[in-house]
Structure 1
Amino acid sequence: MRSLFSKLLIVAGLVSAFASMAAGQAESAAVRRAKEIAGILSSGDRDAARRYVQENFAEGMLKRPMEQHLGFFSRVHDQTRGLKLVKVQDEKPAEATYIVQSELTGLYEALWVSVKENAPHKVTGIGLRPPSDAPALKAPANEAEFASRLDAAVKKLAAADAFSGTVLIAKNGDAVYKGAFGEANKDFSVPNRIDTKFNLGSMNKMFTGVAIAQLVEKGKLSYDDPLSKFIPDFPNAEAAKKITIKHLLTHTSGLGGYFSPRFWDKSRANLRTVDDMMALVREDEKDVSFEPGSRWQYSNTGMLVLGKVIEVASGQSYFDYVRENIYKPAGMVNSDTFELDRINKNLAVGYQKRFTDEGIAWSNNIFSHVMRGGPQGGGYSTVEDLLRFDKALRSGKLVSAETFRLLTTPKPEVNSPRYGYGFFAVVDGGPTGHSGGFEGISSDLRMHLASGWTVIVMSNYGGSSGPVWRLAEDLITAMEKK
């Protein structure tokens, strides 16, 4: 094990190297801090990170738990394995954004740092996000080269234990690339396969949105119907008269989430039906956060309530309705909301990295997850089934073309500029679809409607799908522009 002294030398050397790049040039305090932080992030040294936080973070930042700060430094290092300084994107006296490049993936990131205006310019904010104007990748010559380069990149991530899961990239419904990496079960060293079922997280919200749209097409309900029409005994009777189906679909209802202390204190083994889950709503949603339609706030509760609306309007259980009207016509033979204490074949176990001073420890998500998913999330599917879902939507097999457009476009009239009806909205030619994330869950379906591309990534590592779909889309963008 390296000594503390050698670790300090490494960190000091990295910080010095970063600083020397701009030698002789005047730089703001924020840029200087960004370089220092990039050096700490590159080192992966938690002791150095702890000292840096204690000595250089402002009082407001120090009110947060130290473990939160160390978690940020550890996660970024684990996902990047080091950062190359590229260029200053934006510089102000007390704020700077530095474009950096991941050593592991080659992806560019924007490292944002804010500082106090007065010396010693302590750090008041820090973040890492995809940049708005990253340098373009070299364009693949064709789809075969695209697949080869993506495969090499994902294999590198998997070899670093930064990704475990499946990937499927399609053009006009035909697979251009498929790959399976890592393990579905670490206890028994079971490898992931292309047909391994992964937890969808919030991606189930798409199925809930489609189910509502189908019932609208059948005349069973309207987007403008009040919630009180379907759930007259909703805990907040007055709010239920104002909240419409449209508000619930767009996360503008004012309802929040049910992940409260009461939820975590309950036995989640008893949450198996929509009515079981609605008991959480009845306990927690006696008030709304704002006037329905006045602003946007992501709401798991709103989507759960829509599950009950579907049951009332259709006369079926939510689970039966989705199986018969979405999974079956789309040919999604490996998708369902499984009860996790039953025998379920080929399900990936979710894993989360825990960063400690002793190193990385893995934990599974069995006891942090619900026993069964529902309208708001937590079901299971495969990358091939999600491609079938994508094709069924584009071909009009599930809803009409006009309804599909309605599902995937912004709803500014209710202050939802980036979210449609259960789908992320198409904005500035970008993709539609949904993501899902939780401990041990990281999945994405990204449908590029104009170009015909579909990007699907499913992972049983928390927070690990992003670099994969970003790599795929950066390569696609470069190839489409050449």
Structure 2
Amino acid sequence: MDSDSVRGVERRRLLGWSGLAAAGVVAVGTPLLGAGTAPAAASETAGQDRIPPDTLPGGAYDRFVTKLAAQDKFSGVVLLSYRGRTVLSRSYGMADKERGIRNHENVAFHLSSAGGPFLPVAVLQLVQRGEVKLSDTVGTYLDGIATDIAEKVTIHHLIIGTSWMDAPELDVHRVFNSREEVHEYNRQWARQARLVGVPGAGSSGHTAGGAVAGAIAAQIVEAVTGTTYWDYMHEHVFGRAGMRGSAYYTRTQWLTDEHIAHPYMRQPDGSRVDAVRNLDKDSLSQQGPNENPGRGFIHDVFATAPDLARFAHALSSGTVLDRPYADLYTGAKLPGPGDRLGAPAFKAYVGPLHIVNGQWVFNRGGGSGGVSASWTIYLDSGWVGVVLSNYDDLQEFGAILQRQDQAITGRPIDSPGGG
């Protein structure tokens, strides 16, 4: 892509974002208007003529998800939001089968890796305030890190995924009893990281490397702010975005709080087991090897579907990041592989970006035993799509994501993207 093309794409994206703010749909510093309440179809602000019929209650997307839920192939919440107002919000299945608590839109779901986009926001807030620079190396703020990492890996490398670090596999079967224990484990684990390539030389592709990069970046946030990473996130990211139902919960809270969905892992015999109450269970979960939920690492964030829509609109309104830094957050940095959208793909601080039917689309997904999560921000048009599930049925979950894209963009399923 030549420089003129890049400037043209950036200008269209900026105009799209400015249109959201200028329309007055979401005021700076306020939470998402009407999340989970007034439907956009009845709103003069949204405009009936701009809402694709497939996204409406009773439309093709709604009917598809309802059918899967009726077959017990989906349990969770789906939400579609347009310019700050909810178009569709549906909840299915049980948040806690043992206690008879149903899923609803104010239930928080474990995001797994789909919680990754929040850490770069915290880092960019520090950059915005002049407290750190993206070009600063790890050693500027932390000691005890391997010398080559301390001297060569920058904050930019950490949050874009090009640090080329690796680390020992996480102890996924360990159960932590306090945040202090989690904090010390993360600190020791980060100090075992080693370089396995040249920092900045494209995406490293190491899962463990991405996780340890997040752990190091979080420790830099703590070193600069003098508070815990979790407390900083709750106040300055979730709090500023109006995300009242989102947090880094402990396993004890997961077991006792009726507003947190329990994940149900698929077992070899086809049954499902509560992954929080049965940490010692081995599973052939469709998400991969059995994982210990609630480890307390960087990705162990919980969020409600309306909260993820609130974050998207707080981002577009300049609430969590000033405009230039919000644009930096979502701007394409590197080419990347395609995924479910089948469209041109790029890497950004926010996560994977695609160009779909001429607009920029961000999507971040995650999954583990009993957890499937995905949220999508259609940056130019103002749409947000969220699918959170406490089942790990990947085929059905992927079909829901395809139907969401089709309903919002009008792009036929399995067609190429294109700009």
TM-score, with structure 1 as normaliser = 0.64
Which residue is equivalent to 1:393?
A: 315
1:267-346 superposed matches below 5 A:
267-269=175-177, 273-283=182-192, 285=193, 287-296=194-203, 297=205, 298=207, 299-342=210-253, 343-346=256-259
How big is the shift at 1:433? 4.0
Taking the aligned partners of 2:73 and 2:348, their CA distance within structure 1 comes to 32
Q: Does 1:425 align with 2:353?
A: yes
Deviations 1:217-253 (A, max 9, x none): 001101111011111211x122221000011101110
Taking the aligned partners of 1:300 and 1:414, their CA distance within structure 2 comes to 19
* 2:174–2:292 Cα contact (<8 Å) kept: no
Q: Does 1:225 align with 2:147?
A: no
1:463-474 superposed matches below 5 A:
463=394, 465-474=397-406
* 1:185–1:348 Cα contact (<8 Å) kept: yes
Which residue is equivalent to 1:477?
A: 409
Q: Which runs of 5+ in 2 are unaligned?
A: 1-48, 280-290, 339-344, 413-419
- Work out which structure has the larger RCO, using CA pairs closer than 8 Å and 6 or more positions apart in sequence: 2
How big is the shift at 1:345? 3.2
Deviations 1:309-357 (A, max 9, x none): 100111111011111111111111111111112432311000121234x
Question: Residues 143 and 295 (structure 1 numbering): CA distance in 2 closer, same or farther, change over 3 Å?
Answer: closer
Which residue is equivalent to 1:347?
A: 260
Give the aligned residue type for 1:385: D
Question: Residues 170 and 221 (structure 1 numbering): CA distance in 2 closer, same or farther, change over 3 Å?
Answer: same
Which residue is equivalent to 1:107?
A: none
Aligned pairs, number: 332
Give the aligned residue type for 2:100: S
Give the aligned residue type for 1:452: G
Question: Residues 413 and 182 (structure 1 numbering): CA distance in 2 closer, same or farther, change over 3 Å?
Answer: closer
Question: Residues 245 and 177 (structure 1 numbering): CA distance in 2 closer, same or farther, change over 3 Å?
Answer: same
CA RMSD of aligned residues (A): 2.6
* 2:334–2:348 Cα contact (<8 Å) kept: no
How big is the shift at 1:363? 2.1
TM-score, with structure 2 as normaliser = 0.73
Deviations 1:22-46 (A, max 9, x none): xxxxxxxxxxxxxxxxxxxxxxxxx
How big is the shift at 1:204? 2.4
Taking the aligned partners of 1:477 and 1:414, their CA distance within structure 2 comes to 21
Which residue is equivalent to 1:361?
A: 271
Taking the aligned partners of 1:444 and 1:361, their CA distance within structure 2 comes to 24
Give the aligned residue type for 2:261: A
Taking the aligned partners of 2:336 and 2:267, their CA distance within structure 1 comes to 40
Which residue is equivalent to 2:162?
A: 252
Taking the aligned partners of 2:224 and 2:322, their CA distance within structure 1 comes to 20
Which residue is equivalent to 2:306?
A: 384
1:158-169 superposed matches below 5 A:
158-169=69-80
Taking the aligned partners of 2:220 and 2:322, their CA distance within structure 1 comes to 21
Task: Give the % identical residues.
Answer: 25
Q: Does 1:447 align with 2:356?
A: no
Q: Which runs of 5+ in 1 are unaligned?
A: 1-139
How big is the shift at 1:370? 4.3
